[in-house]
Amino acid sequence: MFSIDSITGDVTTMKTLDRDGGVTDYIFKVQVTDGGTGSHIKTSTVTVTVNGINDNAPYFLSTPYSVRSIQESNALAGSVVYQVSAADNDLGTTTTFAYSVSAVKYGSSLTSDWEFSTTTAGALTFKNKYDLDVAGTSALTILELIVTDGGSPVLTGTTSLTISIVADNEYTPTIQSQTASPITIDEDTPVGTSVAKFTGQDSDIGAEGTLSYSIGVTNTGVCSSNPFAIDSSGEVTIKTALDRETCAGYVIQVVITDSGVSPKSVSGSLTVTINDVNDNQPSCSPLYQTVHIQEPAAVNDVVRPTSRICIVFHFHLSLILLHKVDYDSATQYYDVDVEVTDSVHVQTVKVRVIVDHKNEFNPTFATNPTFSVNENDISNPDVTTYTASDADYSPDNIVSYALQFAIATDGNFFGIDTSSGKISLKAPLDYEATKKVYELTVVAIDGAGSKGTGTVTVSVLDVNDNAPTCPQYTYVKSVSENSSPQVIVNSLGCTDPDGTAIAYALSISSGTSFSIISTDKVNLDSNLDYEATSSYTLTVKVTDAGTPVLTSTVIIYVDVINVNDGGPTFSPTTQTVSLDENVAVGTSVADAVATDPDGTDPTFGDLRYSILSGDPNSLFYIDVSSGHVSTRNTLDFELHQSYTLIIQHRETLVNVDNLVAMLL
């Protein structure tokens, strides 16, 4: 806070001193030193006292002060408006503050209307009664307040205070004027027309003196609504249309109310009579009606709704027929406009006369037709469309068709479209297997359930659709060779299911030894030779006489049985051969060749050769299959000069011996 000059020793302040900051005295030491050898030092204590001055202005503890609301009835002369307080930051002084109103920043009052209490510091009071009902008096006031301290020089502080005076509702509204009662209004007076005027008055100023108008009614007729309205000026007008037939009169109740916190009001009444005028059409309800009449209805028949159509006149409408009505003529209703008038107004009632249907007729079929269909043909299954007629109009006309069958299984072949009456084949017909004529009963059913029947005859046409049939299509026969002509198949027995004549044609795989005789017999015409042909295949074509021609085939397999035609024979029957003695073993001697009419047939023609006699010492060998003879051992002339060999040829299964002699 302080500094010292090292030469002169002058002590000066380094900062501003403020006694009000809490420090009133400063104590510090000052040291002085000489400049000689072995210098000497001295110290001294310095006390600085800070003297106070009036350097801080006073201030209000709240700035600004909040709005203060005071009821008007409490705003009396001398009553406290608000308690303010101030402070001063100068230390060590005792200050007495003085308060005053320096200005009215907002409102209608003067500074002289306010004063601070002389007995209570800072208490602001009303100098006079504050009356909001005085013209021009403002309910809101903003004051500028000033506080002055007792220092020298004199310093001041300011703030603002907002004051709101809440008005009291002191006076009750009064009716200053109103339309004289009673009044009469025509019921057709337009909506919006002014019919009366109420004027109210209130001595309060401001909201408490602001008036509003409301309206209610006491009805004198059978009604519940209020057709009147009143605006903010008290003018009564027609809000909704009047109707004397609904309500003949009203007592209007008008209430005038001020806008105070605790509202006050006054009420007045006005009697209103509604004058009747002819303003209504005849009352008819409903305006669209339906009545029913059963067909057939005759001329002068009366048609009458079940209830009155116009209540005002309380009459029943009666309509008289001028001509016969018939539902089946395709006119099922008539629209009639009935005009109802009271001589001024006209009301139109639309009446629809509905003709109720009656099932008068049964379905009928005009003819009972006959149709033909080919058997086994369902490429076009439609037979015919068979329909009935019914003079009744919908819904009593024909609604469906059905078939009835005397024999239940006929239903497997025919069906009918229930809507159109189209008859169709469900399965192909067979002229040969099933019936040749079908009688179909067609039933037509109308909307009331009545029925009518008709008959459709369907003839089945025969077509050549079956090939000839035979009891047997394959035969296997056996015939011995060299047999005499004979019948090998007694009867083929083929027939045509379609009933046409049968023709047979024979073809043979080999030869011409067979034929067809007596229409359907298969005959052997000549001897057979097993060795030439051992089997035959006969094909018999069986043909009908229809169109188109249809054919079946019978196959006959003929096996030829082999028989023994004869025994074997040698040629030549005798042979003479010369051989040298001592020829090698196996030397060829001769060939004993035999033949057999059965050839090489294994049963009768398979030959076997053997040496029957003449070779006691087994000097010779013969091949059993070929008959070739050769030496088995060495021949010796000195022992035996000749040999007579007897050769045998035997068929395999037959004991027939044929001998040949061979001389050596």
> Model pTM?
0.41
Q: How far apart are CA 46 and CA 31, in angstroms?
A: 11
Q: Are 536 and 513 in contact (CB under 8 A)?
A: yes
Q: Are 635 and 620 in contact (CB under 8 A)?
A: no
DSSP string, 89-156: --TT-----EEEEEEEEESS--GGGEEE-SSSTTEEEESS---TTSTT--SEEEEEEEEE-SSSS--E
How would residue 652 be classed by pLDDT, with cut points 50, 70 and 90? low
Distances (CA, A) of 508 to 466, 475, 504, 656: 26, 14, 13, 37
Q: Does the structure show a pLDDT above 70 at 605? A: no
Q: At 10, which amino acid appears?
A: D
498-523: per-residue pLDDT in tens? 888 999 999 887 677 889 888 889 99
Q: How many helices (H) and strands (E) does the chain have?
A: 0, 49
Please tell me whether residue 342 adopts helix, strand or coil conformation. Answer: coil
Distances (CA, A) of 319 to 330, 353, 469: 21, 9, 83
Question: What number is the average pLDDT over the span 145-149?
Answer: 92
Q: How far apart are CA 391 and CA 380, in angstroms?
A: 33
Q: Does the structure show a pLDDT above 90 at 440? A: yes
Q: Are 535 and 558 in contact (CB under 8 A)?
A: yes
Q: How far apart are CA 194 and CA 221, in angstroms?
A: 22
Q: Are 198 and 268 in contact (CB under 8 A)?
A: yes
Mean pLDDT of the chain: 85
Q: At 131, which amino acid appears?
A: D
Give pLDDT, residue 127.
Answer: 92
DSSP designation for 403: E
DSSP designation for 179: P
DSSP string, 599-664: TT-TTTT-EEEEEEES-TT--EEE-TTT-EEEESS---TTT-S--EEEEEEEESSS--EEEEEEE-
Q: Does the structure show a pLDDT above 90 at 254? A: yes
Q: Does the structure show a pLDDT above 90 at 257? A: yes
Q: Are 347 and 339 in contact (CB under 8 A)?
A: yes
36-78: per-residue pLDDT in tens? 777 788 888 888 877 777 778 888 988 888 767 888 888 899 9
Q: Which residue has better confidence, 200 or 351?
A: 200
How would residue 306 be classed by pLDDT, with cut points 50, 70 and 90? low
Q: Are 578 and 621 in contact (CB under 8 A)?
A: no
Query: Measured at the alpha carbon of residue 81, what is the angle toward residues 80 and 86, in degrees to the nearest 5?
Result: 95
Q: Which residue has better confidence, 444 or 499?
A: 444
How would residue 658 be classed by pLDDT, with cut points 50, 70 and 90? very low
Q: How far apart are CA 623 and CA 606, in angstroms?
A: 14
Q: Are 9 and 30 in contact (CB under 8 A)?
A: yes
Distances (CA, A) of 563 to 14, 430, 484, 488, 601: 174, 54, 14, 19, 10
Tell me the domains of the chain and their CATH numbers.
2-49 (no CATH), 59-166 (2.60.40.60), 174-275 (2.60.40.60), 288-356 (no CATH), 364-461 (2.60.40.60), 474-561 (2.60.40.60), 564-663 (2.60.40.60)
Give pLDDT, residue 28.
Answer: 82
Give pLDDT, residue 540.
Answer: 94
Give pLDDT, residue 106.
Answer: 92
Q: Does the structure show a pLDDT above 80 at 18? A: no
Q: Are 420 and 493 in contact (CB under 8 A)?
A: no
636-647: per-residue pLDDT in tens? 888 888 888 888
